[in-house]
């Protein structure tokens, strides 16, 4: 790979990581303002496998819908999604999205990750306490 190609690849990776570091804040999903919907996608960047966005922020009491998509190419067509604190554990097959819905009733930071492949990079759900 030429030097220019390497620089472009590094800048692209940097941009993806920087974007993933900002929390995703959903627009209202329905008529009720406490419904939030996110699409969370398993992707491969270089040799690393990630769940994007890597940070999601909701308010305590929000009804949260996560659409899980596995877009990682390769021989392994399944990847996991587990969200600590909310008893959510799914296996997501490439090309077959899964939807999970829950109420964010516990404030705090809850990690999500691939329970099938511990080396993959997950993210965090931030539930802001109600006043």
Binned at pLDDT 50, 70 and 90, residue 127 comes out as: very high
CATH of the domain at 66: 2.60.40.420
Is 84 within 8 Å of 115 (Cβ atoms)?
A: no
pLDDT at res. 14: 42
pLDDT at res. 23: 57
Residue range of the domain that includes 56: 3-128
More confident call, 25 vs 83: 83
DSSP SS3 for 91: strand
pLDDT, tens digit (0-9, with 9 covering 90-100), for 42-55:
999 999 999 999 99
For the chain, the domain total comes to 1
pLDDT, tens digit (0-9, with 9 covering 90-100), for 3-24:
444 444 433 444 444 444 445 6
Residues 6+ apart with CB under 8 A from 26: 36, 37, 38, 56, 58
Q: What is the Cα–Cα distance from 102 to 70, expressed in whole angstroms?
A: 20
Q: Is the peptide bond before 85 cis (omega within 30 degrees of 0)?
A: no
Does the model's pTM come out above 0.85? no
Among 28-32, 45-49, 70-74, 94-98, the minimum mean pLDDT is found in 28-32
H-state helical runs in 22-122: none
pLDDT, tens digit (0-9, with 9 covering 90-100), for 56-89:
999 999 999 999 999 999 888 999 999 999 999 9
């Amino acid at each position: 790979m030429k030097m220019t190609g390497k620089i472009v690849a590094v800048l692209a990776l940097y941009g993806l990581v920087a974007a993933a570091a900002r929390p995703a804040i959903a627009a209202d999903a329905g008529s009720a303002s406490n419904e939030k919907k996110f699409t969370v996608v398993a992707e491969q960047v270089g040799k690393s496998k990630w769940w994007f966005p890597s940070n999601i922020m909701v308010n305590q009491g929000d009804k949260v819908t996560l659409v899980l998509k596995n877009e990682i190419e390769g021989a392994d067509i399944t990847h996991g999604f587990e969200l600590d604190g909310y008893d959510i554990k799914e296996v997501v097959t490439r090309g077959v999205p899964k939807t999970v819905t829950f109420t964010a009733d516990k404030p705090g930071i809850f990690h999500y990750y691939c329970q099938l492949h511990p080396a993959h990079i997950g993210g965090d759900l931030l539930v802001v306490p109600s006043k």
